[in-house]
Structure 1
Amino acid sequence: MTKSDQNTGSGEGQEPERPRKGRPVVIDSQKRRSLILEALDSHFQEVGLQGMTMAAIAQRAGMSKQTLYTLFQDRDALFDAYLDDRFACLLQAQEVPDERLGFADRVRLLFRFDAPAEAWELPVALFRLAVVEAPKHPRLARRCLEEGPRSKQALLLAELERARDRGEIRVSDPKAAAALLMDMLHLPLIDALVDPNFRPETEAWRQRFELGLSVFLKGIS
C-alpha cells in the first residue's frame, strides 16, 4: 500500500476531527435590553418581587450578572427601564382623542378597559414598593407617580381646558376638576395597593367609569 493509499484510507485509527469553534453570537444592546425586561416580567410571575435579584434576572435572561450591570447599574435602574417600556406601550395603544368628538367621548378614549389583569401585576407591585419604601427608592416613587396617575390627570386637565375654551362645559378651576375627575374615573388605587388579590373585572370597571363621568358632568352642568 502506497503512502497515498494510507492517507486516503478508511480513516480507521485516525484521530477524529474536532469541531471548529464558531464566533459567539453577538447581540446588540437593544436586543439584550429586551431579553432582560422579558426575563424580569416572567421571573416576577414565578417568584414575586422578593425574589427579583440581579443574579436571578441575569440567569433568567441567559447572560452573566456582569453583562446585566453593563446596562443597568442597580435594580432601581432596571425597574425604571421596565416602567419606561410599560408606559410607552400604554401610550402607543392609547387612541388620540378626535377633536371633533364631544368632551365625554374624548375622555373615554383616554382610558382602556381591555388590558389583561396580569399585565398590571408587576407595575402595581412596583407602585406598592415605592409607597412602602419611598425613602429607599425615591426615584422609583417619583416615576410611579409621574408616569402613572399624574400623567393621566394631566391628559384630563388638557381635555377640561379644551372643553372650557370651546364652551362645552363650565369649570372655574380645571386643575382641581381634573384631580376630582381622576379620582372618580380611575380604579381605586388603595384597593390595588393593599390587596394583592385585587383584580378588576373589565365590565365592573367600565360601569364605574361611566357612573363617575355621568355624575361629574351633571355636577358641573
Structure 2
Amino acid sequence: MVKETDMNACEPHRRRGRPVQMDSAAREEEIVRATKALLMSSSLDEVTMAAIARETGMSKRTIYAHFDSLEALLRRSMAEIGKVIFLPLNEVEKTKPLKERLSLLLTLNKPPVSEDRKREFLRTLIAKAHVYPNLAREMCQNGRGILRGYICAELEEAVREGVLKIAPGRLALAAEILMDMAFWDPVPSLLDPDYIYPVEGDMALRREAAIEIFLNGCLTHRP
C-alpha cells in the first residue's frame, strides 16, 4: 500500500513582492497550503494570522475574507492533514485477507515531522483546548474517528461474511479496542521528557501482535 504524504503540500513556499492574481478558490487553497506548512514546521503558538499572511504574501484582511477566525483556518488545515494520515483502502487492497486489510489501515502515513515536534504540538493543543475547543474536538473526529470508521467497515463486512463474531452494536467498541491494542499510549511521552518513543520496527511488531490477538478472540473458526 503506497502511503506517501504529499511533501510539496507541506513545504514552505513564500512569495516575493506583489502576489500574483488568483481567483477566490485558488487564494483559499494557497492560504490552507501555507497554514499546513507552518503547522508542520512551527509550534502551534507560532501559527498566527500574521505568520500565515507572511507565508502567503497576502494581507490579514484577505485571509479573514476567507476564514472568519484563526481556529476556522486551523480546523480546515488540520482536516486536510488528517486526510493524508488516515487513508481508506483502495480497490486492490480491499481484495486482501482481513488481517492484511487491518494491518494496512493501522499503518499510518505519518507527517514528515519529528516525534518531538508532534509531541510538542499535541501538548500545546491539549493546553489550549479551551481556547480552540472545536479544533480539539475535530482533531479527534478527523483522526481517530476516521480510522475507527474504516476499521468498523472491515469488521462489519467480516461479521456479515461469518468470519468474525462480534455482538450487534459493539463494532465501534471493537474497533476502539483494536486501535488501543495497536498503538502506544501517547500520554507517557507527553509527561516524561526522557521518554524514548518506539521505533518503526517496534510499532510494526505491536500492530501485528494486536491484530493477531484481536482476531483470535473474534474468529468464528480457528485456523
TM-score (structure 1 length as normaliser) = 0.73
Equivalent positions of 1:172-187 (< 5 A) are 172=167, 173-187=170-184
The counterpart of 2:149, out of the listed 142, 154, 171, is 154
Between the two structures, name the one with larger relative contact order (CA 8 Å, sep ≥ 6).
2
> What residue identity is the alignment partner of 1:190?
V
Q: Residue 181 of structure 2 contacts residue 207 of structure 2 at CA under 8 Å; is this kept in 1?
A: yes
Query: Percent identity over the alignment?
Result: 28
> What residue identity is the alignment partner of 2:165?
R
Give the aligned partner of residue 11 of structure 2.
none
Shift of 1:156: 1.4
Give the aligned partner of residue 51 of structure 1.
46
CA distance in 2, matches of 1:135, 1:26: 38
Distance of aligned partners of 1:124 and 1:33 in 2 relative to their CA distance in 1, 3 Å threshold: farther
Give the aligned partner of residue 215 of structure 1.
213
Give the aligned partner of residue 62 of structure 1.
57
Shift of 1:149: 0.8
Equivalent positions of 1:1-221 (< 5 A) are 25-44=20-39, 47-90=42-85, 94-96=88-90, 98-113=93-108, 115-118=110-113, 127-172=122-167, 173-191=170-188, 193-194=190-191, 201-221=199-219
Distance of aligned partners of 1:56 and 1:174 in 2 relative to their CA distance in 1, 3 Å threshold: closer
> Which range moved further: 104-113 or 176-185?
104-113
Q: Residue 34 of structure 2 contacts residue 52 of structure 2 at CA under 8 Å; is this kept in 1?
A: yes
Shift of 1:114: 5.2
Gap regions ≥5 residues in structure 1: 1-22
Q: State the structure with more CA Rg.
A: 1
CA distance in 2, matches of 1:217, 1:24: 55
The Cα offsets for residues 131-187 of structure 1, whole Å up to 9 and x where unpaired, read as 333332221122111111122112212211211111112222323211111111234
Distance of aligned partners of 1:36 and 1:199 in 2 relative to their CA distance in 1, 3 Å threshold: farther
Q: Residue 130 of structure 1 contacts residue 144 of structure 1 at CA under 8 Å; is this kept in 2?
A: no
CA distance in 2, matches of 1:215, 1:83: 33
> What residue identity is the alignment partner of 1:177?
A
CA distance in 2, matches of 1:195, 1:52: 25
Shift of 1:125: 5.6
The Cα offsets for residues 104-141 of structure 1, whole Å up to 9 and x where unpaired, read as 12212213355354188877666544433333222112
TM-score (structure 2 length as normaliser) = 0.73
CA distance in 2, matches of 1:150, 1:138: 16
Distance of aligned partners of 1:145 and 1:108 in 2 relative to their CA distance in 1, 3 Å threshold: same
> What residue identity is the alignment partner of 1:72?
F
Q: Give the match's secondary structure for 2:113.
A: helix
Distance of aligned partners of 1:44 and 1:144 in 2 relative to their CA distance in 1, 3 Å threshold: closer
Q: Residue 113 of structure 1 contacts residue 205 of structure 1 at CA under 8 Å; is this kept in 2?
A: no
CA distance in 1, matches of 2:19, 2:158: 58
